[in-house]
Structure 1
Amino acid sequence: MSAYQQMVSDLTAAGATLVAVSAQTPQFTGKTREALGITYLLLSDTDNHLARQYGIVFELEDELDQIYRSLGADLKSVNGSDSLTLPLASAFVIDQDAVIREAFFNLDYAQRVEPEELIAAVGRV
């Protein structure tokens, strides 16, 4: 998310607006925004309602939940949901008519589309 902060001006220059969506509650999303110094729009998708519409939600195995908990991350609390679901790491380029023109996905939440790839995709729309 910090890498995307650095490209906000490039996206703006390309005529795009960066919007990020987090599975976290608004409270935790605000803490993330503050901790990372994010100035672009960061929205909360509690219980993954939007992510479900995009078909990018997956269920965590109990073992993975236990690993998260051992690291101090209580996903049910942070995400404000009793379900153990998360959205895939993803990015979309959506045109002014609300049509998805480019989509990027990764099963590894730590691997996101490179900022340069996203800027190039915006240039193709």
Structure 2
Amino acid sequence: MVALRENYADFQAAGASLVAISPQLQTYSQELVKDRRLPFEVLSDAGNTVAATFGIAISLPESIRRVYADAFKIDLPTYNGDDSWSLPMPARFIVDQHGVVQAADVNLDHKVRPEPASVLDVLKNL
């Protein structure tokens, strides 16, 4: 989200609105916005329903759940308000003014994200 924050003015200059969607409860999303000084909204996707609709929701296996809880000290059920241990794959969707998805980047590896420049290229060609 830091890269999105750092390039927010460029997205605005291209005429785009930026919104992030998280399975976290709204309280935690608001904390994220404040702590990271995000100039855009982070909406709450309770139960990962939007992620499931887009086909990007995954259920974490038990071995990964233990890593989250023990090593990272992340209580995912508390943050997300349910015990599904479901997360969205990292994804970016560029949706035009008519609600049509013009580009999508999805990767199971949470470390792989599209560069903001590639998003700007798509925006300029809309």
Same topology, TM > 0.5: yes
Question: What 5-or-longer segments of structure 1 have no aligned partner?
Answer: none
Aligned alpha-carbon RMSD (Å): 0.9
* 2:84 is the alignment partner of 1:83: yes
Equivalent positions of 1:46-125 (< 5 A) are 46-70=46-70, 71-125=72-126
1:110: how far off? 2.9
- Counting matched residue pairs gives 125
Q: Secondary structure at the match of 2:113?
A: coil
Distance in 2, Cα, partners of 1:112 & 1:77: 26
Map of 2:41 onto structure 1:
41
Percentage of pairs with the same residue: 32
User: What letter matches 1:58 in structure 2?
Assistant: I
Is 1:25 equivalent to 2:58 in the alignment? no
> Residues 33 and 41 of structure 2 are in contact (CA less than 8 Å); yes or no, is this contact kept in structure 1?
no
Structure 2 residues without counterparts, runs of 5 or longer: none
| CA-CA distance at 1:81 after TM superposition | 1.1
Deviation at 1:33, TM superposition (A): 0.8
Aligned partners of 1:107, 1:27: CA distance in 2, in Å? 26
Q: Give the 3-state SS of the residue equivalent to 2:73 in structure 1.
A: coil
What's the TM-score once normalised by structure 2's chain length? Answer: 0.95
Deviations 1:15-59 (A, max 9, x none): 111111111110111111111110112111121011111111011
Structure 1: which 4+ aligned runs deviate by more than 6 Å? none
CA contact (8 A) 2:60 2:86 kept: yes
Give the Cα separation in 2 of the matches to 1:46 and 1:111: 24
**SS across alignment from 1:117:** helix
In the aligned structure 2, how far is the partner of 1:110 from the partner of 1:48?
Answer: 20
Aligned equivalents of 1:9 and 1:41: distance in 2? 14
Deviation at 1:111, TM superposition (A): 2.3
TM-score, L = length of structure 1: 0.96
Amino acid in the other structure paired with 1:2: V
